[in-house]
Amino acid sequence: MLAYGVQHIAAMYAGVVAPPLIIGQALGLDPLDMTLLIGASLLTAGMATLLQAIGVWRIGARMPFVNGVTFGSVAPILAIVAQHDQQQALSVVYGSVLIAGVLAFVAAPYFSRLVRFFPPLVNGTVITLIGLSLFPVAIGWIAGQDSEAADFASPLRVGLGAGTFLLVLVLNRVLTGFLNRIALLIGLIIGTLVAWPLGAVDTSTFASAPVFDVPMPFEMASPAFNLSATISICVVMLVAMMESTADMIALGEIVDRPAGEQTIAAGLRADGAGSALSAVFGGFTCSAFAQNIGLVALTRVKSRFVVAAAGGVLILLGLFPIAGAVVSLVPKPVLGGAALVLFGSVAASGMKTLAKADLGNSLNALVVAGSLGIGMIPIVSPNFYEHFPAALRTVLDSGISTGCLVALALNLLFNGLRGSEASEEESTPVGSEEPGSPGTVTAGT
């Protein structure tokens, strides 16, 4: 269970530390404060993940669902930072995230009713789009983020990425049993060991990482409230809820437990509660990590307790920053090579779900074509919507959100609610059970 959990952390670690790194650099934080900010994000990601996987009352989807700081909040937070000085900016950010989290918690049961509009035609399209939208992330890890850098897409980076990609595929083919389930982790370890003598492993994190630190409530900054900032973060939270809904539906298909209204409501409550809790301890807006859905699909380990173990390890990484530095040793190109397999698994799961829809029907085919076409715009051209209002860009710059909205609209236009009602009948027996009921616990394990 620990090995499977660490594998989940390896898949999402870069994603959970990237937002505090970017925000911390924009704030001009010194190395110690930067380390504390990253530790707070790891700690709060662990708490949010435990809340989703284990659950409390009607909070938590009780599925193998990993939560952490959403990258979607970075742009509006940077805008807030640009308008205030360092300390005031953090205060406004934490106040806005706190309010957005509470509002998301309250709105969760109403938002979850959208599940009736997600028949297999819409589900499969959105799941496929989730997988496709993640590929640029993996490619960015391999090539590098700065196209002007000397090592951008260098033979070493591409070689490490390609080698890890092939290694993970081969390991999945030749290994059996337990070793097969941790093939990705083995691939990451071997890739890191190969990269070390080549100078591709960065050990600088150890220089500023304290051995032990307990983030205290509002240690980084006390919350302050600003209307425009709060609105911008609430929009981010709305987008995150939309993506989480799509991710829960995708995960439900993978673990053979269709996500009904009650499950989605409980999961969205965990997003809201996790975000509010994150603001208290120095983190940012929390949401689902789609790359971990790919790991569930790839390994076929569907236990929510494995993800709960990952949440526990994330908390330890937050409390022991020096341990988090060990995880950060995995070079980005190595992580990117493994991620190509993970993200491809998500897209493949979407295609499997689309197989349940009648794509021989030309109208259904148009729903898929139109949704993927619109959803891919911000993925292939990130600056496509740069002249649109900032409030609209929060939604438009998310290919998953735009593709999801278009799929919903086109399905309603062409098919009405016929497919949605049928899909709801199929998914209700398992997915709509109250979280914590015997059937739900069995499915969740």
d(Cα 250, Cα 128) in Å, to the nearest integer? 9
* Within-domain flag for 371: no
How many distinct structural domains can be found in the chain? Answer: 1
Query: Does 42 fall in a domain?
Result: yes
Give me the pLDDT at residue 232, please: 76
CA 83 – CA 27 distance, rounded (Å): 11
Position 39 in a domain = yes
Q: Look at residue 76 and tell me whether its pLDDT is greater than 90.
A: no
Residue 124: the pLDDT is 85
Torsion of CA 262, 433, 296, 359, to 10 degrees: -80
Q: Say if 317 falls within a structural domain.
A: yes
**Given this model, what pLDDT does residue 394 score?**
66
Whether 165 maps to a domain, the answer reads yes
Asked if residue 444 has pLDDT above 70, the reply is no
Please, which residues have CB within 8 angstroms of residue 240's CB and are 6 or more apart in sequence?
A: 70, 72, 73, 104, 271, 285, 287, 288
Q: Does residue 17 carry a pLDDT above 90?
A: no
- More confident call, 333 vs 436: 333
Give the pLDDT mean for 244-253: 87
Residue 379 lies in a domain: no
Domain holding 72, by residue range, is 2-116+135-346
pLDDT of residue 418: 56
- pLDDT above 60: residue 416: yes
pLDDT surpassing 60 at residue 352: yes
In a domain, 293, yes or no: yes
pLDDT(392) > 70: yes
Cβ–Cβ under 8 Å, residues 120 and 356: yes
Q: Across all residues in the chain, what is the average pLDDT?
A: 83
pLDDT digits (tens, 9 = 90+) for 102-113: 999 999 999 888
Confidence of residue 136 (pLDDT cuts 50, 70, 90): confident
Is the pLDDT reported for residue 167 higher than 60?
A: yes
In this structure, of 213-227, 273-287, 407-421, the range with the lowest mean pLDDT score is 407-421
- Under the banding of pLDDT at 50, 70 and 90, the label for residue 37 is confident
pLDDT score at 154: 94
Of 440 and 70, which is predicted with more confidence? 70
Residue 439 lies in a domain: no
Residue 442 has pLDDT above 60, yes or no: no
- Per the structure block, which two tokens stand in for 302? 């569907």
Region at 443 (left for phi over 0; alpha for psi -120 to 50; beta for the rest): alpha
The predicted pLDDT at position 438 comes to: 34
For 207-233, what is the mean pLDDT?
82
